[in-house]
Structure 1
Amino acid sequence: MEEKRLRMAELHSECGSAAADKAEVDSLLKSTYCLQRRTINADPAPAIRDLRAQWPLLFVQKSLYSHFELLTGVPIRKMEQAVEERGRLIIDYFKSKATNDVVKKVLGTHGEEEVAALIIELLMAHFKEKTEDLILKTEETASAANIERTLDLAESPRLIILGERLSGQKWMVGIEGQVVCEGVQPTFSSGLAALFVCYYNFNLQYQEGAACTLEFIQRNFFRINPERGSKAGRGKVIRKRTGQLVQKKALAINPHVCSLMKKLTEFEWDFI
């Protein structure tokens, strides 16, 4: 498997991201999957920079998707189908029951955005999360190197949109202060999918500032519903009664996400 890993690094050196389209690479990635997981799950966990140096093709959009499907058994198209099937319901729910002023503003100012882009804006507004905790915007002509110099890229994953609108623009994904993936299709849905699978592929926790939105995507679009555990960090809170800083309780599902899912189901049944 190490020889196969070196072969893939050689192909990437020769062909760049285009190497991922070779039939040989598809076979090499599948046959070295267990070594990939062993490297990713090492303790201590490897830095993304080091992981990318060893497995550069794992950070190409096509390979990101393939690895996720091997890891979870969930096809990427499941998200696209869910957005198509449930997207209008989610938008109609917020139009009917705008939950705060920010949601109303999003509904009142959005243009001809993709459904997926509008849904994410609405979800983040509903959960009172800041868009920049998940999505960053930069100049349409910016290069990866320029983005790394000029944008404050966080440790946790960010979807970087090249342009003012969320839809119809080129995109990249940044992790740990560097651009790790440059998208092929200029669609918000493909960028959102690439961003999301990074949490699973590279064993990363959801950042606290976007944890509700990410868990909603996980449970409603990808239908990943574990009975135990969560990819949201537990964090710490101040106990009201004593004023002590304590660890949050581990929950099977975020209560804010659970509440919205229940309300969406009730809203859907009202029209049946």
Structure 2
Amino acid sequence: MMFQKTDANPEEVKNLMKLTFYTQRKQVNQGKTIKYLMEEWPFWFRELGMAVHFKELTGIGLNETLIRNVDLKGERLLNYMNTVCANKSKKLLQAVSKLKVVRGELTGCSEDVKDMVLLLLSYFDEKEDAMFCYVEDTCLAGEVQMDQLYLTPTIVVCGRSCYSSKRFMLSVDRNIVHDNITSFISALCMMFGSYYCFNIHYPSQLASTLEFLQRCFFSINPEKGTKVEKTNTSHLHVKPRVLTLIQELSDYEWRDV
């Protein structure tokens, strides 16, 4: 009933989400479908509700942790990718050049985060379409072709690129759970948070990118274990490669030319 009103008190929503956290976790662990959870807990699929649940679950603030780490490490990562990595890899050099053209004169934290994610996907040679689905900028939730989407959390970009889009949607288990996210950073946080809130493994197509974001930008650093889905082939190679990049970044000192 509160969700159907436009003037719900954010503090009251936050408090009620905390009070019902146990029941939410119980239903996820019982294997309730995303569609069922959307009907039972609509606020969970909004930025505020997901942030509360993620904080209760992990002890980490979703948006604030990402933004703080982008401030601390984002420039270094971008500079490293644009220079050292681009000089070593023809594919990454092409990705850097393409992003400069697409981004144009746009500046700001949000644009830097878009660059970071797209360059990480290129660096790890992972599938962009497993994280992003591009649709027309006027596309409505009911018009999204669900068979184009992965079952895992996917950001639906309403526009030809992340840079031109003014609106994003979030899909989980091929359900559009939020159809009007106006910030890329919010969309990224909700996509990442969904893996934890709904007990979803990282798909092999995005394993390294998500694990890097997890460790470097969302500050989740378990000593052992991984959220990467288990496949017939060993997935142990993911962690060393991610940790190697983190180590190289910590050793890298960028200088103004």
* TM-score bracket for this pair, using the shorter chain length: 0.7 to 0.9
Asked if the contact 1:183–1:191 (Cα under 8 Å) also holds between the matched residues in 2, the reply is: no
Which letter maps to 1:86? Answer: K
Distance in 2 (alpha carbons) for counterparts of 1:150 and 1:35: 29
CA deviations 1:2-55 (Å, max 9, x no partner) are xxxxxxxx333x33xx4664443222211111111111112xx22211222222
Asked if the contact 2:66–2:217 (Cα under 8 Å) also holds between the matched residues in 1, the reply is: yes
User: Structure 1's 230 and 96: CA in aligned 2 closer, same or farther, altered over 3 A?
Assistant: same
User: Structure 2: which 5+ runs fail to align?
Assistant: none
Distance in 1 (alpha carbons) for counterparts of 2:217 and 2:22: 27
Question: In structure 2, what is the equivalent of residue 174 of structure 1?
Answer: 171
Distance in 2 (alpha carbons) for counterparts of 1:146 and 1:19: 28
Asked if the contact 2:82–2:96 (Cα under 8 Å) also holds between the matched residues in 1, the reply is: yes
- 1:150 shift after superposition: 6.0
1:198 aligns with 2:180: no
1:39 aligns with 2:24: no
1:27 aligns with 2:15: yes
User: Structure 1's 135 and 151: CA in aligned 2 closer, same or farther, altered over 3 A?
Assistant: same
- 1:123 shift after superposition: 0.4
Match of 1:105 among 85, 94, 115: 94
Which letter maps to 1:40? Answer: V
Distance in 2 (alpha carbons) for counterparts of 1:69 and 1:176: 22
Q: Secondary structure, in 3 states, of the residue corresponding to 2:177?
A: strand
1:255 aligns with 2:246: no
RMSD: 2.0
CA deviations 1:124-177 (Å, max 9, x no partner) are 101000111111111111111111x46612211101111123135211111111
Asked if the contact 1:157–1:175 (Cα under 8 Å) also holds between the matched residues in 2, the reply is: yes
User: Structure 1's 23 and 96: CA in aligned 2 closer, same or farther, altered over 3 A?
Assistant: closer
- Give matches, 1:34-183, under 5 Å: 34-42=22-30, 45-76=31-62, 77-97=64-84, 98=86, 99-110=88-99, 111-112=103-104, 114-147=111-144, 149=145, 152-167=148-163, 169-183=166-180
- Ranked by relative contact order (alpha carbons within 8 Å, sequence separation 6 or more), the top structure is 2
- 1:250 shift after superposition: 5.4
- 1:213 shift after superposition: 0.4
User: Structure 1's 96 and 250: CA in aligned 2 closer, same or farther, altered over 3 A?
Assistant: closer
TM-score, normalised relative to structure 2: 0.87
**Identity among equivalent pairs (%):** 27
Distance in 1 (alpha carbons) for counterparts of 2:166 and 2:134: 10
CA deviations 1:176-203 (Å, max 9, x no partner) are 111012344x222111111100001111
Matched positions, count: 243
Asked if the contact 2:140–2:179 (Cα under 8 Å) also holds between the matched residues in 1, the reply is: no
Question: In structure 2, what is the equivalent of residue 223 of structure 1?
Answer: 219
CA deviations 1:240-265 (Å, max 9, x no partner) are xxxxxxxx2658x7111011111111
Q: Secondary structure, in 3 states, of the residue corresponding to 1:51?
A: helix
Distance in 2 (alpha carbons) for counterparts of 1:51 and 1:190: 20
Question: In structure 1, what is the equivalent of residue 251 of structure 2?
Answer: 266
User: Structure 1: which 5+ runs fail to align?
Assistant: 1-9, 238-247
Distance in 1 (alpha carbons) for counterparts of 2:185 and 2:15: 27
TM-score, normalised relative to structure 1: 0.83
